[in-house]
Amino acid sequence: MSAAEIECIDVRKVYRKDRIAIPVLDGLNLRIAAGEFVTLMGPSGSGKSTLLHLIGGLDSPTGGSVRVGDAQLERMSERELTAWRSRHVGFIFQMYHLVPVLTAAQNVELPLLLFKMSAAERRERVATALKIVGLSDRTDHRPNQLSGGQEQRVAIARALVTDPDVILADEPTGDLDARTSEEILTLLNLLNTEFGKTILMVTHDPKAAAHGQRTIHLEKGVLERDEVMPRKTVAAASA
Amino acid sequence: MNLRLLYLARNLTRNRIRTALTCAAVALPIIIYVLSTAVVEGYEEFLEQAARELRLAVTQRTSIINPLPAGHRPKIESLDPTGARLVAVCGMRWIGGRIENDPRPLSTLAVDADTFPTSFPEYLRSPDEREAWVRDKQALIIGRGVAGQFGWKKGDRVTIVPSVPPYTPMEFHVVSTSEEASDPLTNWFRRDYLEEELRKSGAPEGLVSFFFIKCGSKADLDHFRVAIDALFARSPDETKTQDEKTFMNEYVTQQFNLPRNLRILAAVTVFVAVMAAANTMSMNFRDRISEYATLKSMGFSGGIVFTMIQSESLLTCAAGGIAGAAVPYVLFTHTPMKNFTVPLIQHLDIAPAVCGQAVLIALAIGLLAGAWPSWLAVRLHVVTALRSLE
Reported ipTM: the value is 0.90
What would the pLDDT profile of B351-385 be if each residue is shown by its tens digit? 999 999 999 999 999 999 999 999 999 999 998 88
Asked whether residue A1 carries a pLDDT value surpassing 70, the answer given is no
Confidence tier at A239 by pLDDT (50, 70, 90): very low
Is residue A234 scored above 50 in pLDDT? no
**How far apart are the C-alpha atoms of A117 and A112, rounded to whole Å?**
8
Using a CB-CB cut-off of 8 Å, the residues of chain B touching A84 are 299
Predicted local distance difference test score (pLDDT) of residue B340: 73
Kindly list the residues of chain B whose beta carbon comes within 8 Å of any beta carbon in chain A: 3-4, 6-7, 10-11, 13-14, 290-291, 293-302, 382-383, 386, 389-390
Mean pLDDT, chain A, whole residue set: 91
Facing B299 at nearest CB: one of A83, A93, A97: A83
Percent of chain B exceeding pLDDT 90 equals 68
Average pLDDT score over chain B: 90
- For range A148-174, the mean pLDDT: 94
pLDDT for residue A230 is more than 80: no
**How far is residue B332 CA from its own chain's centroid?**
14
**Interatomic CA distance for residues B141 and B177, integer angstroms:** 6
Q: Do B297 and A85 touch (CB under 8 A)?
A: yes
Domains contained in chain A, number:
1
**Using one digit for the tens of pLDDT, what is the confidence trace for B178-195?**
887 777 789 999 999 999
Query: pLDDT band for position A235 (50/70/90)?
Result: very low
Residue B344 pLDDT: 66
Section B329-343 average pLDDT: 81
CB contact under 8 A, B6 and A97: no
- pLDDT over 70 at B49, yes or no: yes
Minimal-distance CA residue of chain A relative to B301: A82
Interface test with B, best of A13, A60, A79, A91 (most B CBs within 10 A): A91
Query: From chain A, which residues contact B within 8 Å (Cβ)?
Result: 53, 56, 58-59, 79, 82-87, 91, 93-95, 97, 99-102, 106, 109-111, 113-114, 158
Nearest Cα residue in chain A from B2? A119
- Segment holding A25, helix H or strand E: strand A20-32
Banded pLDDT at A2 (limits 50, 70, 90): low
Q: What are the start-end ranges of the H helices in chain A?
A: 48-55, 78-88, 104-109, 119-132, 148-160, 178-193, 206-209, 234-238
Range(s) of the domain holding residue A100: 34-46+87-238
d(CA B334, CA B134): 40
Which residues does chain B have within 8 Å of residue A56's beta carbon, measured at their own beta carbons? 297
Q: Report how far Cα B165 is from the mean position of its chain's Cα atoms.
A: 30
Is the Cβ pair A106, B293 closer than 8 Å? Answer: no
How far does CA B23 lie from the centroid of its chain? Answer: 26
Nearest by CB to A91, which of B13, B297, B301?
B297
Instruction: Work out whether strand B157-160 and strand B86-94 pair parallel, antiparallel, or are unpaired.
Output: unpaired
Question: Is the pLDDT at B52 greater than 70, yes or no?
Answer: yes
For residue B301, give the nearest of A79, A95, A110 by CB distance. A79
The closest of B328, B331, B390 to B34, measured between CA atoms, is: B328
Count how many residues are written for chain A. 239
Q: A101 and B14: CB-CB below 8 Å?
A: yes
The answer to whether position A19 is within a domain reads no
Is A174 domain-assigned? yes
- CA B233 to mean position of chain CA atoms: 36
Band (B346; pLDDT cuts 50, 70, 90): low
A97 closest CB neighbour out of B291, B300, B383: B291
User: Nearest Cβ partner of B7 from A56, A91, A102?
Assistant: A102
pLDDT at A237 over 50: no
Q: What is the pLDDT of residue A229?
A: 80
Contact B54, B217 (CB under 8 A): yes
Partner residue facing B297 (CB), from A58, A79, A99: A58
CATH code at position A38: 3.40.50.300
Residues of chain B positioned with their CB less than 8 A from the CB of A83: 299, 301
Which residues of chain B are within 8 Å of residue A106 when distances are taken between CB atoms?
Answer: 3, 6-7
Shortest alpha-carbon distance between residue A107 and chain B (Å): 10
Report pLDDT digits (tens) over A122-157. 999 999 999 999 999 999 999 999 999 999 999 999
Whole-number Cα distances in Å, A138 to A148, A157, A175, B332: 13, 12, 21, 52
CB pairs under 8 A between A and B: 63
pLDDT of residue B265 exceeding 90: no
Q: Is residue A129 part of a domain?
A: yes
Burial class of A16 by CB neighbour count within 10 A (0 to 12, 13 to 18, 19+): exposed
* Cα(A172)–Cα(A155) distance, integer angstroms: 10
Residue A213 near residue A229, CB atoms below 8 Å: yes
Choose the weakest-confidence range: A84-88, A172-176, A231-235, B263-267.
A231-235
Domain boundaries, given as residue ranges, for chain B? 3-46+258-389, 63-237
Nearest residue on chain B to A94, alpha-carbon basis: B390
Give yes or no for residue B121 having a pLDDT over 80: yes
Q: Distance between CA atoms of A32 and A54, rounded to whole angstroms?
A: 14
Which chain A residues contact residue B10 at CB under 8 A?
Answer: 101-102
Main-chain phi, psi angles of A26, to 5 degrees: -130, 80
Query: Is B67 a residue whose pLDDT tops 90?
Result: yes
pLDDT band at B41 (very low <50, low <70, confident <90, very high): confident
Name chain A contacts of B6, Cβ cutoff 8 Å: 102, 106
Listed in sequence order, the residues at least 6 apart from A229 whose beta carbon sits closer than 8 Å to its beta carbon are A39, A209, A210, A212, A213, A214, A215
Please give, rounded to a whole number of angstroms, the shortest distance from the CA of B12 to a CA of chain A: 10
* Chain A residue at shortest CA distance from B379: A78
> What's the mean pLDDT in B4-12?
90
- Categorize the per-residue pLDDT at B386 as very low, low, confident or very high, splitting at 50, 70 and 90: confident
Rounded to whole angstroms, the Cα distance separating A133 from A135 reads 6
Q: What residues of B are in contact with residue A102 (Cβ under 8 Å)? A: 6-7, 10
CB contact under 8 A, A101 and B297: no
Question: Of the candidates A116, A44, A85, A176, which has an alpha carbon nearest to the alpha carbon of residue B294?
Answer: A85
